[in-house]
Structure 1
Amino acid sequence: MKKVLMLFLMSTVTALVQSQEDGPAKKGEFNLTASVHNQWYWRGYAVGPDPIIAAQASYSYGGLEIGTWNGYGLAGIWKDTDVYVSYTTKFGLSFAFWDIFNYSDYTASDGYEAYGNHSQANYFNYLGEGTRHFFDLSVGYTIPKTNLNIFLATLVAGRDRNPDNSNRYSTYIKASYNFTAGKDISVMPYVSYGFALNSDNGGTFWQWTDKAVANANSSGINEIGVSIAKAIHITEKYKVKASAGLVASPINYSTTGLFGITLF
C-alpha cells in the first residue's frame, strides 16, 4: 500500500513540476456541481436502492484537482462521502486516488437488509477490521485525436478483503467512446471487465447479486452499456444536462436503466 501511494505521489509531483515548466502559473479555481439520479450505479454494482442527490466540490490548479463527492439517498438509506485527488496531463493521461466511505443503513430497504446498518460506522477507522472505507487508485488515458478512453482502477486497501482479511485488489478496466449525435447530444457506449489480483475464494468487489456471489467467478464482464446525454436549455443563460441509458452487468446477471440530471 505504501509503495503504491508513494508511486502515485511521485507521479503527481513530477507532472506538477512539468506543468510549471511548460508555461506560466495558472490561476486556481473552485467548482461545485449537483445532480440527481434514479439510483447510484458504480462499476457494474448497484449500490443504492433509492433515488439519490449528489454534490461534488473541488479546487483545481492546472491539472491538479482536490475535492469531495457526496451522495445521499432520498429515502435516507444510501449515504456515501468521498475525498479524492487527481491530476490530468495535457497528453490525455490522468491519475486519481479516492477514499470512498459508505455509511448506509441498508436494513431500511426490502431486499437489501443483508448488507446491514452502517449508519454508526467510525469514519476514522481507515484500515482496521470492519472499516467502511476503500481506497481506489486509477489511471485513465484518452487516445490522441480520438474520443476513446481507457480507464484502469484497483482497490488498493480497505474493505475489499478475502475471508482471511487479506486484500483482494479488485481491479476494473473500462473502454468508452464518446461522440456527438446532433446539437447538444452526446452518446457514449462502454464496456468494462472486472477481476481480482488476489482472490482466495473466486470473488471480487464488483459482484453484488446473490447469484453472482454464490458463483464467485473471479473475473467477468462488469458492464455493457450506453449513455445518452443532452443539454436542455431552461433559459438563455441556464441549462441542465440530462442523461439516460441502459447497462447490463453479465457478472451480476442484471440490467439497469439509469437516469440523471446535472443541475449545475
Structure 2
Amino acid sequence: MKNLFLSMVIIIGLAGYAQETTPENAISKEPSRLNFNVTLATSHLWRGLIISPSMTAMGDLHYTFDKNRNFSVGVWGGNSFDGKYTEVDYYVQYKNKGLTIGLWDLFNTTNVEHPEVFNYDKNTTTHLIDLRTSYRFPEAFPLRIEADIILYGNDKELQPDLDYKNRYSTYVELGYPLIKNEQITLDTYIGAGFSLDGKSNLYSSNTDHNFNIVNAGFKASKDISIFQYKLPVFAGIMWNPAEKYTRMQLGVSLF
C-alpha cells in the first residue's frame, strides 16, 4: 500500500512538472477539441454495484465536434491494479447547459473467458448498450435527475420456453448538493433499479421485487494543493439497501 501511494505521488508530481515546463507558445488560445483525463480511485462503484473492489485507474479520451462543445464522441476505460477488472466503453454524447444525453457501449471483460469485442449477437454478446440521460436544474434549485436504460445486450431474463428476452434494466437517480462553497462540495444521492420488461433487473440479485433502492450516499469533493498545483480529490460513502452492503471510496483526478 505504501508503494502504491508513493507511485500516485510520483505520477502527480510528473504531471505538475509537465504543466510547469510547457512553453507558452505551445498553448493554444482556443481550448482543444481533443482532450482526456485520468482518475485514480480506491474502487470502482457504478449505480450501487461494486464493479472493482480494488484500486482502479480510469481514463476518458473524447473529442468534441462543434464550437459550443455540445456533441462529443469518446472512449472510457478502467483497469484495476490487481488485474482482475478491465473495461473499455465507447460513447456519443450531447450536453447543453444542464441536459446530458448519451449512448454508451459498455464492454466489461471481467470474468469473461473469451471476450469478443465485435460480437453483438443478441444471444451471445457481452456488450451492454446503455442510454443515459440526466438534467440538472439551475443554481437556484440544483436538483439533478438521471434516468438510464439498458437497450440491448447482456441484460436478459430466462423465459418459461427457455428463451431469453431483454429486461430493459432501468436506473433512476436523484442528486442534490447539500453544501457548495469555495472550499468543498457535498452531494447526496439516492438511486433505484428496476426493469421495464421482466421480474428482475441488472442492479439487484433480489428477484422477489423488481423495484429496489440500490444506491444511496454522500460524496464530498474539493481541491488540494500539492507541488504548488490544485488537484481535485473526492471521498464518498455508498450504501446499497437491496444488496445490504456499503463501501467507502477515495479518489483523485490527476488531470
Residue identity in the other structure for 2:107: F
List aligned pairs for 1:148-227, cutoff 5 A. 148-163=143-158, 164-199=163-198, 202-207=199-204, 212-213=205-206, 215-227=207-219
Give the secondary structure class of the aligned counterpart of 1:127: coil
Unaligned runs of 5+ in 2: 1-29
1:36-55 maps to which residues of 2 (within 5 A)? Answer: 36-55=40-59
The residue aligned with 1:249 is: 240
Secondary structure of the equivalent of 2:57? strand
1-structure distance, mates of 2:185, 2:52: 26
Conserved? CA contact 2:103–2:130, under 8 Å: yes
Q: Secondary structure at the match of 2:242?
A: helix
Distance in 1, matches of 2:121 and 2:47, equals: 22
The alpha carbon displacement at 1:216 in A equals: 4.2
Scaled by the length of structure 1, the TM-score of the pair is 0.78
What fraction of aligned residue pairs are identical, expressed as a percent? 28
Tell me the number of residue pairs that the alignment of Structure 1 and Structure 2 aligns.
218
Alignment-derived partner of residue 105 in structure 2: 99
Higher helix residue share: 1
> Contact 1:227 / 1:245 at 8 angstroms: preserved in 2?
yes
CA shift, 1:180, in A, is 4.1
How far apart in 2 are the matches of 1:256 and 1:127? 35
**In the TM superposition, what is the alpha-carbon distance from 1:52 to its structure 2 partner?**
0.8
Cα separation, 2, equivalents of 1:121 and 1:216: 31
Listed as ranges, the matches of 1:49-88 within 5 Å are: 49-60=53-64, 61=66, 62-88=69-95
Q: TM-score scaled to structure 2, two decimals?
A: 0.80
Mean alpha-carbon deviation: is it higher for 148-157 or for 226-235? 226-235
Aligned match of 1:125: 119
| CA shift for structure 1 position 94 | 1.6
Residues 143, 149 of structure 1: 8 Å contact kept: yes
What root-mean-square deviation, in Å, do the aligned CA atoms of Structure 1 and Structure 2 show? 1.8
Q: For 1:77 and 1:53, how far apart are their aligned partners in 2?
A: 12
Q: Aligned-pair distance for 1:181? A: 4.4
Look up the equivalent residue of 2:127 and give its one-letter code.
Answer: H
Structure 1 or 2: more strand by fraction: 2
Specify the SS of the correspondent of 1:175. Answer: strand
Unmatched runs of 5 consecutive residues or more in structure 1: 1-25, 105-116
